[in-house]
Amino acid sequence: MRFDLSEEQQDLQGVVRDLLEKSWPRTELTARIGASSEHDPVWEQLVGLDLLGLLVPEEQGGSGASSVELAVVARELGRALHPGPYISSALALAVLADAHDPAIAEVTAEVLRRGTRVAIVGFDPTEDVRLEATDVDGAMVISGHALNVLGADSAQAFVVVASTGARGRLFWVDDMSHVSVDVSDQLDIGRPVPSVRFSRAQATEIVTDREVRETVERVALVAQVALAAEQIGGAETCLDIAVEYAKQRIQFGQPIGSFQAIKHRCATTAVAIEAARAAMWNAAWEASHDAWSPQVVSHAGMARAASTEAFVASAESAIQVLGGIGFTWDYPVHLYYRRALVSRVLFGSPRHHRELVARSLFGQ
């Protein structure tokens, strides 16, 4: 299959890349990482461009786009190593948009208008999340604990899956006074994936026409595609940094990029990225057309496994090409390496995805 972005998708890619080059330049990355996200110029512009609502239907104030457009934006954010909770917020809005409750419709419109940062909890099938929803005097409250929550470090609200006994239900939680987020001991200092504790936080149920299990599986599938795209973007930047340095660094009177060992290292990385990128676009396209097909689930898993390994390998290779300064604050490569290692465990490791693909292929 030959996949090319449409003209509109290429325009979207160009707009987001230009935005990031101006508002989140690589030359300032090491200085900005870890800074407060309250006045993030990139986030404000993403909201202004209506990109949070890519998966929200147009009649609800969104863009009515697909997982392909989401992947386009996620890839550019990954290239720039932007720490904002874009993926989790976009997925949360997709869940909210499925609701047929007027109160939740108002929440959706408000999130789109304000650019509320939202994290999702309970959608990662590989995480052991224990959240319970109970009725207290006619109001639902959420209690429990979750680990490795994407987007929680700057979240202003949550979309959660909580148990009400025999089955799970979806809830909107913006009662932050009863939510605690622990960002200590984080490997990725740019975008932590902290633990979150809910202590009888008030919640509003999100009622949709789908079974909760179907919604969770759909969100997990699109999350795989978006994370794979983000990882591809990060891997591409690491390779760019390595190649740029290899052209400039002089050793024995010539650029180190002329040495066969460096050539082979960069070429091997480029091949891995190209293969992973093809798998990612294929999964994104299929998810936008038939999200419930078992084949799509398999292809998304293969894309995620390939993208994860390509990102880790590209970051490691860039550190080696840069040599003694590869892990210092003079270059941002170590920040990409941190992101690569942390994103490797989100929504399943490469081994997890390969096992799922094997089961789908061989029926075991």
Model pLDDT, residue 193: 92
Cβ atoms of 158 and 173 closer than 8 Å? yes
Q: What's the full length of the chain, in residues?
A: 364
Residue with tokens 């760019």: 240
Binned at pLDDT 50, 70 and 90, residue 2 comes out as: low
In angstroms, rounded to a whole number, what is the distance separating the alpha carbons of residues 145 and 189? 22
pLDDT of 362 > 70? The answer is yes
Model pLDDT, residue 41: 87
In angstroms, rounded to a whole number, what is the distance separating the alpha carbons of residues 11 and 73? 11
Model pLDDT, residue 327: 85
| Predicted confidence (pLDDT) per residue in 66-83, tens digit | 999 999 999 999 999 999
| Predicted confidence (pLDDT) per residue in 114-140, tens digit | 999 999 999 988 887 889 999 898 889
The tokens describing 263, both together, are: 């050539």
Model pLDDT, residue 35: 65
Binned at pLDDT 50, 70 and 90, residue 291 comes out as: low
Cβ atoms of 219 and 324 closer than 8 Å? no
| Predicted confidence (pLDDT) per residue in 235-269, tens digit | 999 999 999 999 998 889 899 888 999 999 999 99
In angstroms, rounded to a whole number, what is the distance separating the alpha carbons of residues 100 and 131? 24
Residue with tokens 């094997």: 358
Binned at pLDDT 50, 70 and 90, residue 297 comes out as: confident
What 3-state class would DSSP assign to 11?
Answer: helix
Cβ atoms of 171 and 206 closer than 8 Å? yes
Read off the pTM.
0.94
Which DSSP state fits 28?
A: G
Which DSSP state fits 125?
A: T
Which DSSP state fits 32?
A: H
Higher pLDDT, 246 or 2: 246
Percentage of the chain beyond pLDDT 70 is 97
Binned at pLDDT 50, 70 and 90, residue 320 comes out as: very high
Residues 1-28, mean pLDDT to the nearest whole number? 90
Q: How many CA atoms lie within 13 A of 107 on its CB side?
A: 28
Q: What is the residue extent of each domain of the chain?
A: 213-362
251 bridge partner residues? 254
What 3-state class would DSSP assign to 292?
Answer: coil
201 bridge partner residues? 142
The closest of 83, 80, 85, 90 to 19, measured between CA atoms, is 80
Higher pLDDT, 209 or 248: 248
The closest of 179, 261, 231 to 348, measured between CA atoms, is 231
Residue with tokens 């999702």: 120
Model pLDDT, residue 126: 83
Candidate from 117-126, 168-177, 196-205, 291-300 with smallest mean pLDDT: 291-300
The closest of 144, 151, 201 to 172, measured between CA atoms, is 201
CA 140 vs CA 129, 131, 172, 204, 300: distances in Å: 18, 12, 10, 7, 35
The correct CATH number of 213-362 out of 3.40.630.180, 3.60.15.10, 1.20.140.10, 1.10.443.10 is 1.20.140.10
Phi, psi (deg, nearest 5) at residue 76: -65, -40
Model pLDDT, residue 37: 60
pLDDT of 290 > 80? The answer is no
Identify the burial level of 349 via C-beta atoms within 10 angstroms of its C-beta, where 0-12 means exposed, 13-18 middle and 19 or more buried: middle
- Provide the mean pLDDT of the chain: 91
What 3-state class would DSSP assign to 202?
Answer: strand
Residue with tokens 């390939």: 306
CA 124 to chain centre: 12
239 bridge partner residues? none
pLDDT of 172 > 60? The answer is yes
The tokens describing 59, both together, are: 């009649």
pLDDT of 34 > 80? The answer is no
